[in-house]
């Protein structure tokens, strides 16, 4: 079936640097995308979302970019902090809109 | 915190047994979705309940069943447990069905021996 995937399983960055986590999706009918952060032993935490009629959305220290032409999604975290260390998942809604399809996740490690 | 609560937090069962997991949705949310997350993987959609009816199902066998109650809380039942059912079971609530943000609870960690 169609799925969402990630390019890098592990990303290690220096504290204070910017982080970029990438995601490729295959369902061209997807119209809603979400980034989640999951810390060890916890459920996924909503970070930011974007709809398919947008190509960029900004939050507090985070930006999501959507390129529908190449079916690519990215999460940018500015001034990465130790508390940002976690696994990050992108997810998308398919045609039915009622289920989220998740990728395998990228582990972000922040070095002090 | 999302306001989504799940119980129990941890559970140990033996193969062949049955288990019931519970979820209380965020206030005002009428839609509850259940996901299974195996260790080191992303969550996999099991099913969704909207206004007490099943509203979509993933690739899970019928021994995975659910309920939603008038207060929008929900249960996930798994019969005839198998070793591969060991996972983190996540509940997520959303304001409505469709392309809406889903907010996750902390999960129930199930271990089947």
Q: According to the 3-state scheme, what is the secondary structure of chain A?
A: CCCEECCCCEEEEECCCCEEEEEEECCCCCCEEEEEEECCCCCCEEEEEEECCCCEEECCCEEEEEECCCCEEEEEECCCCHHHCEEEEEEEECCCCCCEEECCCEEEEEEC
Pick the residue from chain A with its C-alpha nearest to B41.
Answer: A104
Contact B43 A103 (CB under 8 A): no
pLDDT, tens digit, 9 for 90 and up, residues A77-112: 999 999 999 999 999 986 566 789 998 799 999 998
A7, pLDDT greater than 50: no
Contact B97 A34 (CB under 8 A): no
Distance from CA of B80 to the nearest CA of A (A): 25
Residues of B in Cβ contact (< 8 Å) with A99 = 33, 45, 48, 56, 58
pLDDT, tens digit, 9 for 90 and up, residues A14-29: 999 999 999 998 888 8
A6, pLDDT greater than 50: no
Half-sphere exposure of B8 (CA within 13 A, CB side): 9
Which of B38, B42, B101, B109 best probes binding to A when mutated, by most A CB atoms within 10 angstroms? B42
B113, pLDDT greater than 90: yes
Pick the residue from chain B with its C-alpha nearest to A51.
Answer: B99
Contact A44 B105 (CB under 8 A): no
Q: Which residues of B touch A (CB under 8 A)?
A: 2, 4, 31, 33, 35, 41-45, 48, 50, 55-56, 58-59, 90, 92, 97-99, 101-107
Residues of B in Cβ contact (< 8 Å) with A36 = 104
Residues of A in Cβ contact (< 8 Å) with B56 = 96, 98-99
Contact B42 A99 (CB under 8 A): no
Pick the residue from chain B with its C-alpha nearest to A39.
Answer: B106
**pLDDT mean over A58-69:** 96
pLDDT, tens digit, 9 for 90 and up, residues B60-112: 999 999 999 999 999 999 999 999 999 999 999 998 777 688 999 999 999 99
| Percent of chain B clearing pLDDT 90 (strictly above) | 84
Contact B106 A42 (CB under 8 A): yes
A5, pLDDT greater than 90: no
Q: In terms of C-beta density within 10 A (0-12 exposed, 13-18 middle, 19 or more buried), how is residue B75 classed?
A: middle
Q: What is the mean pLDDT of chain B?
A: 94
Contacts of B107 (CB under 8 A, 6+ apart): A42, A43, B6, B9, B37, B88, B89, B90, B91
């Amino acid at each position: 079936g169609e799925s969402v995937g990630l390019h890098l399983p592990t990303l290690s960055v220096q504290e204070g640097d910017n982080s970029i986590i990438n995601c490729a999706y295959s369902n061209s009918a997807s119209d809603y995308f979400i980034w989640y952060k999951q810390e060890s032993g916890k459920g996924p935490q909503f970070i930011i979302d974007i709809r398919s009629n947008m190509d960029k959305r900004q939050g507090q220290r985070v930006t999501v970019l959507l390129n529908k032409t190449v079916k690519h999604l990215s999460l940018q975290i500015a001034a990465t902090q130790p508390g940002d260390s976690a696994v990050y998942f992108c997810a998308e809604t398919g045609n039915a809109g009622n289920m989220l399809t998740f990728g395998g996740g990228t582990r972000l490690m922040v070095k002090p | 915190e999302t306001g989504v609560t799940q119980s129990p937090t941890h559970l140990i069962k033996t193969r062949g047994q049955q288990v019931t997991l519970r979820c209380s949705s965020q206030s005002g949310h009428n839609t509850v979705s259940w996901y299974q997350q195996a260790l080191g993987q992303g969550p996999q959609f099991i099913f969704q309940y909207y206004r007490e009816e099943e509203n979509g199902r993933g690739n899970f066998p019928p021994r995975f069943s659910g309920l939603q109650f008038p207060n929008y809380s929900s249960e996930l039942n798994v019969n005839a447990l198998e070793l591969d059912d060991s996972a983190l079971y996540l509940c997520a609530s959303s304001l409505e069905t469709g392309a809406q943000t889903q907010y996750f609870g902390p999960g129930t960690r199930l271990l089947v021996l």
